[in-house]
Copies of this chain bind each other. A is one copy, B any other.
């Protein structure tokens, strides 16, 4: 199903670019949240009508999931890349700098879609919320494993609390996201980042 490769080329071709439309939808979800983004706002931003949206993406929830895929693929790439840093502190630094760049880009919504979508919501969005939380857990797990490697490498102390460190670095990133979404200036978050980095043990 959905074999979009080798387009069918039968019938009238769609008049909009599906990737552009999805990117536009992502921006709306990113700034308003799942529930806060109405179909009217979405279709206006995407430049298409409601039936076109439903034909191309299924429904609102499935559109959000596709937007979330795009977000993780493009905007959260820094997370995977950060794990390649040579030391634990290097990983932390790349994570924080990547979060800052992603949350404070000039031409995109402030904050983090994952944070926005994982906080409290109405009943209808509960399924979305749980999915976002589940996806975050896999990132969490990857960072735990990277820090375990760091402990073996010796750049984390043998008695370091790895779960604590992982939760901590996520907390700083999430806190930055909250503040970015609340209108904090980029330089404010830069100082938060530097402060946190300064405290990180070792090098």
A residues sitting closer than 8 Å to B (CB atoms) are 30-33, 35-38, 109, 111, 115-116, 118-123, 125, 133, 136, 161, 163-165, 167-168, 170-179, 181-184, 188-189, 191-192, 194-196, 199-201
Contacts and interface: CB of A to CB of B under 8 A. Distances in A.
A99 B189 CA distance: 21
A119 B119 contact: yes
B168 A171 contact: no
Contacts of A199: 199-201
B118 A181 contact: yes
This chain: copies in complex: 2
Contacts of A116: 119-120
A182 B131 CA distance: 11
A191 B174 contact: no
Contact of A38 (B33, B122, B164, B181): B122
Contacts of A201: 199
A136 B121 CA distance: 21
Given A179-B171, A182-B133, A192-B167, A111 B122 contact: no
A119 B181 contact: yes
Given A164-B194, A167-B179, A189-B167, A35 B174 contact: no
29 contacts: A30-B120, A35-B122, A36-B125, A38-B122, A115-B119, A116-B120, A118-B178, A118-B181, A118-B182, A119-B181, A120-B181, A136-B182, A161-B191, A161-B194, A163-B191, A164-B191, A164-B192, A165-B195, A167-B179, A168-B172, A168-B192, A170-B179, A171-B171, A172-B175, A174-B174, A174-B178, A175-B175, A199-B199, A199-B200
Nearest to A167: B192
Q: Chain A contact residues: over half helix, strand or loop, or mixed?
A: helix
A182 B171 CA distance: 12
Contacts of A165: 195
A58 B120 CA distance: 24
